[in-house]
């Protein structure tokens, strides 16, 4: 069995001490899993041109024999999609990627430069990773359910919807999140909310999609 290496990509403002990414990093380290949660440059004022090289440096540092798992949140999802769209043939490919609560493709913020709009090409996404999954929460102020379903169809990925999950951040109570730990370790799906309640998985729409 190959070694596992987990790369966690935070969003705007970073991942504070009570964020699920920090909790997940601790849980994985307790299990002897290699974890990388880099603090991207200027997290409060994300600039794509500054963030993208750091992501690629961290990817390149992962041992070739390791199973690479990536979990990105919020603007970190947008960063991953920019990476996927401009990936080169020699770039390190992830085995599994979880995209959690991205902002809408048309989201704008005066302190974010180049983060949106982001690419939504399915072919590029498959070049970047073997398996990609999207997780969103209802009531997210940065992504409506209509936009979330449209994004899942554009990317041709399955999507788990967490009822009342909001932006799936600390303010929404994500903190400890056993389902994301289970997905990281074993690829367990669908992803449930922090209390392991039943989610809604949007997979029937994938059957209507044509391969890109």
The mean per-residue pLDDT over the stretch 163-168 comes to 97
* pLDDT of 117 higher than 70: yes
- The band of 63, judged by pLDDT with boundaries at 50, 70 and 90, is very high
Q: Does residue 204 have a pLDDT over 70?
A: no
**C-alpha 41 chain-centroid distance:** 18
Mean pLDDT value of segment 71-86: 97
- What integer is the mean pLDDT of 12-38? 97
pLDDT surpasses 70 at 198 = no
136 to each of 22, 37, 40, 43, 126, how far by Cα in Å? 19, 21, 23, 22, 20
Tell me what pLDDT residue 27 has.
97
* pTM, rounded to two decimals: 0.92
Residue 76 has pLDDT above 60, yes or no: yes
Do residues 118 and 78 lie in contact, with contact meaning Cβ atoms separated by under 8 Å? yes
Q: How many residues does the chain have?
A: 212
Query: How confident is the prediction for the chain on average, in pLDDT?
Result: 92
List of domains in the chain: 4-208 (3.40.50.1820)
Q: Quick one: pLDDT at residue 206?
A: 44
Cα(156)–Cα(71) distance, rounded to whole angstroms?
18
pLDDT tens-place string over residues 119-151? 999 999 999 999 999 999 999 999 999 999 999
| Distance of alpha carbon 2 from alpha carbon 50, whole angstroms | 32
DSSP 137: E
pLDDT at 203: 57
For the segment 174-189, the average pLDDT, to the nearest whole number, is 97
Residue 64 or 89, more confident: 64
Pairwise CA distance, residues 128 & 98, whole Å: 12
């Amino acid at each position: 069995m190959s070694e596992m290496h987990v790369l966690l990509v935070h969003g705007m403002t970073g991942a504070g001490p009570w964020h699920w990414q920090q909790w997940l990093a601790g849980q994985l380290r307790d299990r002897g899993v290699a974890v990388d949660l880099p603090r991207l440059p200027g997290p409060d004022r994300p600039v794509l041109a500054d963030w993208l090289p750091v992501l690629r440096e961290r990817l390149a540092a992962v041992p070739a024999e390791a199973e690479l798992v990536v979990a990105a949140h919020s603007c970190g999802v947008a960063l991953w999609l920019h990476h996927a769209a401009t990936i080169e043939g020699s770039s390190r490919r992830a085995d599994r990627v979880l995209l959690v609560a991205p902002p809408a493709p048309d989201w704008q913020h005066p302190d974010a430069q180049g983060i949106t709009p982001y690419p939504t090409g399915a072919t590029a996404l498959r070049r970047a990773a073997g398996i990609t999954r999207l997780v969103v929460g209802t009531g997210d102020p940065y992504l409506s359910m209509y936009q979330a379903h449209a994004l899942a169809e554009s990317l041709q990925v399955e999507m788990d919807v967490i009822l009342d999950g909001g932006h799936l951040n600390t303010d929404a109570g994500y903190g400890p999140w056993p389902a994301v730990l289970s997905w990281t370790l074993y690829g367990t799906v669908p992803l449930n909310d922090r209390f392991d309640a039943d989610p809604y998985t949007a997979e029937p729409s994938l059957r209507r999609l044509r391969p890109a």
